[in-house]
Amino acid sequence: MKFLLAVLVLFTSFPSLSESKYVLSKLSTLYVPYYDATTGQPIYKYDMKTADQIAYDPQDKIIYLVGYSVLYVIDVSDPKNMVILHHQLYNKTQLTEIEFCDGFVFFSADDETSADTRLQGKVYVLKKYQANDADSLKVLHTVKVGAIPDSIKVTKDCRTVVVAVGGEAFGTGRDFQDPKGAVGIIKFPNGVQSVSTYTNLDFGEYNSKVFQLEKDGVRFIYRDNGNIFLRDAQPETIALNGDETIAYVCLQANNAIAEVNLVTGTITALRGLGYKPWSSYKLDASDRDGGIKMNTYDIRAFYQPDGIHHTTWNGKSIIITANEGFAKNYDDEIGWKEEIRGSKILASVSKKMPQILKTALADDRKLGRLIFGKFDGLNAEGEYDHLYTFGGRGISIRLASDMSVLYDSGSVVEEQSAKHLPDLFNCDGHPHSTARESMDTRSDNRGTECEAIETAVIDERLVIFVGCETPGAIYVFSVGDDFSATRFESIFTNIPRNDVTFADMYDKRILSEIDPEDIRYVTVSDSPINSSVLFVSSSESGTLSVFQVNVVNTNSGNRAGSSNSLGLVLATVVLVKLIWYLI
C-alpha cells in the first residue's frame, strides 16, 4: 500500500455522481536550483526556499520568479518543458515579492547587509527580459520604501505600486529594533520610465486608539521597552479592488486589514478580523494524541490571514482570506515570545473558566500542547478569561466594506485532510523525516497553515484555489449563488511515499508543492496553451508547477476543460486497480 498514496488522493477527490467538481491535473514541474555564490554552479537541494513568488508575462510566456536571493526568468511557452533562461543573484538580499506589468518587472527587496540597509528596503523596477538585448533587465528605478518590504501590487496601467512595508523587528540585545510598519505608494505620473514619487503611510494615528482597536479584534502585541502600535503594526500582503482605487493591506500578526484610498493617499480604516470560535467547529489540537483526533473546545482563534484576494461575486465586493496564523517570536533576539503552551496557562486561568476546559489544558492529548497567545484574553487581574490560539485553519470570505464574514470553512480543511490524506495529516515536511514520522506534528501549532490564494470563474462558479503549507497541498473550493453554500471540491498533493524522507523524495524528483507560497491563474486568452492554466510556486520543495483545472461532470461521467480528461480518470482507476493487484 505504500505506493498508493499520491494516486488515491486524485481518485478519492471525485464525488458521488451528482454534480460537477473541479479537480487539478498537473502538466509538469520544474525544480529550481540555488546557485553557489563563488562558482555560480546550480545546486539542487530540498528546503532552500528557491521558489517563492511569481509573476507572468502573457506576451512572451515567461514566468519571473523570486526565491530568497535570486531572480529567475523561466520560459513557460511549453508548459511541459519549462526552461530557466536566466538568473540574477542579489547577494545578502531577500527578494520578497515580484510583479509584471506591460513590459516591466517590479520586485521588493530586503538588503540584509546591515541594520541601515534593512531600514531602507527597496522596490526595483526593471525592463523585461529580452535575450541578447543590452537593455534586458535594465534597472530603471530603485525606490527606498522603508524597513523590510514584504509585498507589492501594481495597478493595470503600471503607474501605481502599493507596498506593504513590513517593519519586522530585527537585531539582538541592544541592537534590537522594531521599525515602523507602513503602506507605501509609488507613483509614475508620466509612465514607468519617468520620474517617480513616493508616499509612506504609517499607523501613527492609531497609537491613541488601541483600546477600541482591541475591542474590534486588532492585536497590539509587542509592548515592551515603550513600544507603540505604529512599530508593532506589520503589513504583510495586499489586494486591490476592481477599479484599483482601494488597496486592502493585511497585517497578519495584528489580525487586521487596513483600507487605503489610492486616490487620496490615505489610510481610511483599520479593521480587526475578530476571532473564530472553535466551540462551533472541530480541530486536532495536539501532536501527542496518537493520531487524528478532532474535537470541539471552547477556545478562540485569531484568523490572521497570509494571502488575501479581492474579487466581486454575486454583486458583492469581497475579500477571500487564507487564514494561516502567525505569532511574533523574538526569542533569539531578546528572549521574548508571545507563544505559550496550554499546559503552562493552567495555573493562571480565571475562576470563570469551565472545568472541562481546565481538564483539557492539563491533558497533552487535548489542549495541553496547543500554542496560545500569552498576552491575549487576560482580565484586569492578569488571569485568562478566554484562550486565543493562532490561525483559522481554513479560508474565509468577507464583505470588503466592513470585513464581516460571509463564509468560513470551519473544520473542512482538516476534515478533508483527515479523510483523503490521513498519512499526511498536519505533517510538517521536515527534510529528514518521512510523512509517517511527521504526521500530526503540526496539530498543536496552526495545523494546515493555509497561506496562498487565487480565484477563477469557471462554469459560472467562483473557484477558489488555496495553498496549504502542511502537508503541502492545494485545496479547491467553489462558490455559486449563495456564499453560505460554498463547497469543498478536491485536494491535490504530490507526496507519493509515506516511508521515504522528504529530502530523499526531492532527490528522486518525485516530490513537489511543499509550502505553496504563490498561485497564479492564467486565462485561456493569455495561456501558453489552448486552455487556462494554474502556476504554483512552492518554497520548501523549490518547485514551479503548472496545472490544468478539470471540470468533472459526474452526471455524465465525463470531464470538461481538458481534451484528455476522461482518459485521466480511466487511467487513474486502472492504475489504482493494477497497483492493488500487484500488492
pLDDT tens by residue, 171-213: 999 999 999 999 999 999 999 999 999 999 999 999 999 999 9
Per-residue pLDDT tens over the stretch 366-409:
999 999 999 999 999 999 999 999 999 999 999 999 999 999 99
| Domains held by the chain: number | 1
361 part of a folded domain: no
**Which pLDDT value is given to residue 101?**
99
- DSSP reduced 3-state for 453: strand
Residue 42, preceding bond cis, omega within 30 degrees?
no
**Which pLDDT value is given to residue 471?**
84
170 part of a folded domain: yes
369 part of a folded domain: no
List Cα–Cα distances, 501 to 33, 48, 428, 509, in angstroms. 19, 16, 12, 12
380 part of a folded domain: no
**Which pLDDT value is given to residue 171?**
97
378 part of a folded domain: no
**Other beta carbons within 10 Å of 380:** 6
**Which pLDDT value is given to residue 351?**
94
List Cα–Cα distances, 101 to 11, 138, 190, 236, in angstroms. 39, 15, 15, 21
**Residues of the domain holding 304:** 5-326+391-582
Per-residue pLDDT tens over the stretch 136-157:
999 999 999 999 999 999 999 9
365 part of a folded domain: no
How far is it, in rounded angstroms, from Cα 445 to Cα 285? 8
Give the mean pLDDT of 524-544.
Answer: 98
**Which pLDDT value is given to residue 558?**
53
List Cα–Cα distances, 228 to 220, 222, 304, 426, in angstroms. 8, 8, 20, 36
pLDDT at 557 over 80: no
How far is it, in rounded angstroms, from Cα 354 to Cα 298? 9
How far is it, in rounded angstroms, from Cα 222 to Cα 62? 42
Classify residue 357 by burial, with Cβ atoms within 10 Å: 0-12, 13-18, 19+: buried
**Which pLDDT value is given to residue 10?**
42
- The count of C-alpha atoms lying within 13 angstroms of the C-alpha of 77, restricted to the half-sphere facing its C-beta, is 6
Output the domain CATH number for residue 400.
2.130.10.10
Per-residue pLDDT tens over the stretch 442-499:
999 999 999 999 999 999 999 999 999 998 999 999 999 999 999 999 999 999 999 9
519 part of a folded domain: yes
pLDDT at 8 over 50: no
Question: What are the percentages of helix, strand and coil residues in the chain, rounded to 5?
Answer: 15, 40, 45
**CB 528, CB 535: distance < 8 Å:** no
384 part of a folded domain: no
Per-residue pLDDT tens over the stretch 44-101:
999 999 999 999 999 999 999 999 999 999 999 999 999 999 999 999 999 999 999 9
